[in-house]
Amino acid sequence: MTRNRSLFALAALFILALVPAIVTDSYTRHIFIIAFIYGTVAVNWDLSLGLAGLFNFGHLAFFGIGVYTAAILTTSLDLSPWLAIPLGGVTAALAALLIALPVARLQGIYVVLVTFAFGQLCMQVVLSQGDLTGGAEGLVRLPYLRLGDYSFIRDFRFGYYYIALGLLTVSVASLMLLARSPFGKSLRALRDNPDYATARGISVARQRVLVLCASAVFTGIAGGFYAIYLRVASPEVFGFSVATLILSMVLIGGAGSILGPVFAALGLTFATEAMAGIRGLEEARFLVVAVAMILVLRIAPAGAIDIFARLFTPRPKS
Amino acid sequence: MDGVLIPTLVSGLLLGSLYALMASGLSLIWTTLGVFNFAHGALMTLSAYIAWTVSEQFGLGLVMGFVAGVGAAVIAGVLIELLLVRPFYGNRNMMLITVMTTLAASTILERGISMIWGPRLKQLPRTLDGQVSLLGAPVSAHEALIIVLAPAVLMALWWYTGRTRSGRSLRAVGQNPGSAALIGIDVPRTFSLAFGLSAALAGLTGVLLGSIRFVTPGLGADPLVNAMIVVIFGGLGSLGATAGAAYVIGLLEALLVLWLGLYWTPSVLFVALILVLVFRPNGLFGKAT
């Protein structure tokens, strides 16, 4: 089973690696790049929400922190974007450590509330620290990537395509390895039967801290790349809309399945971009995604959220 | 210092009153159904826009706007319960699923509102004109009304859930839906009641807020985050603790704005929240379980 899935993933990767040879217009490549970035964010959210069963609703904050780290470092400190992008992963992991401190000891709805409030407060901080972050207007005209004389904005997004695909591949591969490792097994044990897992010596608090930091690293790097690629950083990345879109990728793809959210990210990004092209649907596309998410939760609970049914051990509500 | 301190305390009271109104609506649904309604802020926004349309566009006056706004919020709230919460009742992961469905509902409402009413800022007229003096500080009569109204609404809610038959049925269903059904309480109707009542509180808060701040599609979402901080501090379980936490946060926020300015207040508030949770995981007034 896992062998088949790895082969399937390799075949998909092979096809995606050939796409730029066939697709030469930069707009289609752009949608692929955005889909790879969203896919990276979605699989890492899947690590904490699906695989570890941690009710993390502040995942997009790690993405936004990556975006603003890269943007601030390249504008205020003139750092090379090649360095600023990975540093987005570092700051996101540090933020994850901060939020993990209280989350490690909280239960149920309070985990949802604290992580959600964290994301919204990041946005408020970005808005209030206007000198550094540009406030509501955000930061624009960020530097682009160069390699010697090679400039990444004059090749019809050829280079950016492979960087984004590489980021997604490395992220998915390390998550698949992580899911099979003893650490990944301990996460699933905690999700499926917390009492038994604790009795076998697995620490809830420790695994929660580790899983939040691990899920933040690639998310932050993806954020840094997103900022450098689009050359803007705007506070919208912390908003409800992007969070709902990526959450729906995790749910429609199947939480806990790692590969599912990647394909959902590709499908949904192309679907929302296609809707943005239709007059009258530009504003409505996030609305459509939200409706789709509700329908998946209602109609296909066995498919898309099968995993949530196993999040808890059977226990009477008292 | 004296000259600034009193107005700061008054503005803290005002914030606390608004948070108390919001958080009590959230707590009402939580204690009855075990659902956290992420669309609460969007219901406030909806109510403010409907009130603006009825009172300003149709020119029917603020009272009619008030009634229409609260009515629209109640209808939307009951619909959310029927379509997005009830299908998942009894599901073991109901809490998590309803977080997602109400989050989606909030996106749908917010996007729908910005599509219907557009991005232009709107403002509702004040309920009362003129100024009054509160603790020696001049306050607009409208803000004074909110400060007086919030404790009155909370007292009424406390009286309703503790002393009346239908109010006590809410608590019975919250504690044990099976037994509540056995003694003849219509459980599904009670769920609708809880959502309707909470939505009415959201509608009331939305209209009151709409004449202090500009009415935008994000009107309810911003204070909702602070209302969340309130329920994290106070816990969702009891009305008294929630209301107490609302005033603590409101006053703290006002004092932080005075001492540190708007610039640092959100960060400091959040660090305070994390510190409280590290040392008291059950909230400021919560009891260890």
Angle (CA) A297 B74 B12, round 5°: 100
Burial of A97 (0-12, 13-18, 19+ CB in 10 A): middle
Cα separation, B208 vs B14, in Å, equals: 11
* pLDDT at residue B229, rounded to an integer: 85
Sequence-distant (≥ 6) Cβ neighbours of residue B152 within 8 angstroms: none
* pLDDT at residue A2, rounded to an integer: 60
- Mean of the pLDDT values across residues A54-61? 94
Kindly state whether residue A85 falls inside one of the protein's structural domains: yes
* pLDDT at residue B121, rounded to an integer: 87
**Is 90 exceeded by the pLDDT of residue A74?**
yes
* pLDDT at residue A123, rounded to an integer: 87
Kindly state whether residue A314 falls inside one of the protein's structural domains: no
Averaged pLDDT of chain B: 88
Q: What percentage of chain A has pLDDT greater than the value 90?
A: 44
Instruction: Compute the half-sphere exposure of residue A262: CA atoms within 13 Å on the CB side of its CA.
Output: 23
Contact A106 B103 (CB under 8 A): no
* pLDDT at residue B284, rounded to an integer: 65
- pLDDT: is B275 or A114 the higher one? A114
Print burial letters for A197-210: b (CB count within 10 Å at least 16), e (below 16). beeeebeeeebbbb
Q: Which residues, listed in sequence order, are joined to residue B122 by a DSSP beta bridge? A: B215
Evaluate whether B286 touches A152 at the Cβ level (below 8 Å): no
**Is 80 exceeded by the pLDDT of residue A162?**
yes
Averaged pLDDT of chain A: 87
Residue B93 is given by DSSP the state T
* pLDDT at residue A301, rounded to an integer: 59
Angle (CA) B44 B102 A283, round 5°: 75
Provide the pLDDT confidence category of residue A282 given band limits of 50, 70 and 90. Answer: confident
* pLDDT at residue A312, rounded to an integer: 43
How far does B86 lie from chain A, in Å, by closest CA?
11
Contact B273 A309 (CB under 8 A): no
Q: Which residues of B touch A105 (CB under 8 A)?
A: 277-278, 281
Tell me which residue has tokens 């600034």. B4
Residue A282 is given by DSSP the state T
**Is 70 exceeded by the pLDDT of residue B82?**
yes
Evaluate whether A180 touches A50 at the Cβ level (below 8 Å): no
**Is 80 exceeded by the pLDDT of residue A230?**
yes
Domain membership of residue A285 as a residue range: 2-309
- pLDDT tens column, A173-222: 999 999 999 999 999 999 888 899 999 999 999 999 999 999 999 999 99
* pLDDT at residue A217, rounded to an integer: 97
- The SS3 call for residue B1 is coil
* pLDDT at residue A187, rounded to an integer: 93
Contact A102 B105 (CB under 8 A): no
Q: Which residues, listed in sequence order, are joined to residue A146 by a DSSP beta bridge? A: A151
CATH number at residue A270: 1.10.3470
**Is 80 exceeded by the pLDDT of residue A63?**
yes
- pLDDT tens column, B205-246: 999 999 888 999 888 888 888 888 888 888 777 888 889 999
Evaluate whether A40 touches A226 at the Cβ level (below 8 Å): no
Kindly state whether residue B7 falls inside one of the protein's structural domains: no
Count of domains forming chain B: 1
Q: Which residues of B touch A314 (CB under 8 A)?
A: 92
- Mean of the pLDDT values across residues B253-279? 83
Nearest of A204, A209, A183, A226 to residue A94 by alpha carbon: A209
Q: Which residues of A touch B287 (CB under 8 A)?
A: none
- Mean of the pLDDT values across residues B169-179? 90
Domain membership of residue B168 as a residue range: 25-220
Burial of B28 (0-12, 13-18, 19+ CB in 10 A): buried
Handedness of CA A22, A24, A25, A31 (dihedral sign): positive
**Is 70 exceeded by the pLDDT of residue A154?**
yes
Contact A283 B221 (CB under 8 A): no
* pLDDT at residue B286, rounded to an integer: 58
Nearest of B3, B25, B1, B7 to residue B239 by alpha carbon: B25
Evaluate whether B25 touches B95 at the Cβ level (below 8 Å): no
Q: What are phi and psi of B138, to 5 degrees?
A: -75, 130
Provide the pLDDT confidence category of residue B287 given band limits of 50, 70 and 90. Answer: low
Contact B104 A286 (CB under 8 A): no
Per-residue tokens: B185: 């309480």
- Mean of the pLDDT values across residues A28-50? 94
* pLDDT at residue A215, rounded to an integer: 96
Provide the pLDDT confidence category of residue A302 given band limits of 50, 70 and 90. Answer: very low
* pLDDT at residue A24, rounded to an integer: 82
Name the residue among B99, B229, B266 with its Cβ closest to that of A128.
B266
Considering only residues 15 to 34 of chain A, which have any Cβ-Cβ distance to chain B shorter than 8 Å?
A: none
* pLDDT at residue A308, rounded to an integer: 44
Cα separation, B134 vs B139, in Å, equals: 7
Kindly state whether residue A315 falls inside one of the protein's structural domains: no
Kindly state whether residue B16 falls inside one of the protein's structural domains: no
Kindly state whether residue B234 falls inside one of the protein's structural domains: no
* pLDDT at residue B2, rounded to an integer: 57
Mutate to test the interface with A, among B33, B102, B111, B116 (most CBs of A within 10 A): B111
Q: Which residues of B touch A101 (CB under 8 A)?
A: 274, 278
- pLDDT tens column, B134-159: 777 788 888 999 999 999 999 999 99
- pLDDT: is A312 or B60 the higher one? B60
In one letter, which amino acid is B99? Answer: V
Contact A112 B36 (CB under 8 A): yes
Considering only residues 244 to 263 of chain A, which have any Cβ-Cβ distance to chain B shorter than 8 Å?
A: 244, 247, 251
**Is 80 exceeded by the pLDDT of residue A307?**
no
Q: Which residues of A touch B100 (CB under 8 A)?
A: 247, 251, 293, 297
Evaluate whether A88 touches A44 at the Cβ level (below 8 Å): no
Kindly state whether residue A59 falls inside one of the protein's structural domains: yes
Count of domains forming chain A: 1
* pLDDT at residue A269, rounded to an integer: 93
A109-128 vs B265-279: helix crossing angle, rounded to 10: 160
Per-residue tokens: B111: 């996007």
Kindly state whether residue B257 falls inside one of the protein's structural domains: no
- pLDDT: is B76 or B123 the higher one? B76
Kindly state whether residue A168 falls inside one of the protein's structural domains: yes
Kindly state whether residue B3 falls inside one of the protein's structural domains: no
Kindly state whether residue A316 falls inside one of the protein's structural domains: no
**Is 70 exceeded by the pLDDT of residue A46?**
yes
Sequence-distant (≥ 6) Cβ neighbours of residue A11 within 8 angstroms: none
Name the residue among A129, A241, A309 with its Cβ closest to that of B93.
A309
Q: Which residues of B touch A315 (CB under 8 A)?
A: 92
Name the residue among B100, B112, B225 with its Cβ closest to that of A121.
B225
A112 lies within 8 A of chain B by CB? yes
Provide the pLDDT confidence category of residue B285 given band limits of 50, 70 and 90. Answer: low
**Is 90 exceeded by the pLDDT of residue A300?**
no
CA distances for B106 relative to A87, A244, A275, B67, B226, angstroms: 34, 10, 21, 22, 17
Kindly state whether residue B269 falls inside one of the protein's structural domains: no
